[in-house]
Amino acid sequence: MRAWALLLMACCVPAAAQAPASPPPTTQAPSTGGPEDVPPDNRFDTARMESSLVVPRTSVSHFRFPVIDAHSHDVYTSTPEQLTAWVRLQQQVGVQQTFIFTGKSGADFRAAVERYTNVYPRRFVMFAGISADGIDAPDYGDRLRERLRADVRAGARGLGELTDKGMGLVHVGTQAYFIDDARFDALWDEAGRLHLPVFVHIAEPAEFYQPADERNDLRRSANWSLYGKGTPGFEGMLARFEAVIARHPHTQFVAVHAFNLANDLQRVGALLDRYPNVQVDFAARMWELARQPFTARRFFIKYADRILFGTDNDPTLEMYLAHVRQLETEDEWFWPADAEWWRGYGMHLPDNVLRKIYRDNALRLLR
Q: How does pLDDT run across 201-225, given as a tens digit for each residue?
A: 999 999 999 998 888 888 877 788 9
Asked if residues 309 and 295 have their Cβ atoms less than 8 Å apart, the reply is no
- 24 or 350: which carries more pLDDT confidence? 350
pLDDT of 26 reads: 47
Longest dimension (CA), the chain: 90
pLDDT tens column, 254-271: 999 999 999 999 999 999
Kindly report the number of other CB atoms within 10 A of residue 126's CB atom.
Answer: 24
pLDDT at 56 over 90: yes
Q: Dihedral through CA 2, CA 332, CA 310, CA 297, nearest 10?
A: -80
Helix, strand, coil share (%) of the chain residues, nearest 5: 40, 15, 45
**Percentage of the chain exceeding pLDDT 70:** 91
**Percentage of the chain exceeding pLDDT 90:** 79
pLDDT tens column, 324-366: 999 999 999 999 999 888 899 999 999 999 999 999 999 999 9
pLDDT of 105 reads: 97
pLDDT of 7 reads: 40
Mean pLDDT of the chain, nearest integer? 91
Task: Report how far apart, in Å, the C-alpha atoms of 294 and of each of 42, 309, 327, 347 are.
Answer: 30, 19, 12, 7
Across 24-28, 186-190, 289-293, least confident range: 24-28
SS3 158: strand
pLDDT at 16 over 60: no
Phi, psi at 327, each rounded to 5°: -85, -30
pLDDT at 17 over 50: no
The whole-number average pLDDT for the span 239-246 is 98
pLDDT at 79 over 50: yes
pLDDT tens column, 95-135: 999 999 999 999 999 999 999 998 999 999 999 999 999 99
Burial 249-282 (b: 16+ CB within 10 A, else e): eebbbbbbbbbbbbbbbeebbebbeebeebbbbb
Across 29-33, 149-153, 158-162, 338-342, least confident range: 29-33
pLDDT of 31 reads: 57
pLDDT at 58 over 60: yes
pLDDT of 32 reads: 65
Alpha-carbon distance of 91 to 88, in angstroms, equals: 5
State the sign of the Cα–Cα–Cα–Cα dihedral 63, 100, 239, 146: negative
The whole-number average pLDDT for the span 7-26 is 44
Q: Identify which of 97, 75, 94, 95 has the alpha carbon closest to the alpha carbon of residue 366.
A: 97
pLDDT at 15 over 60: no
The whole-number average pLDDT for the span 144-168 is 97
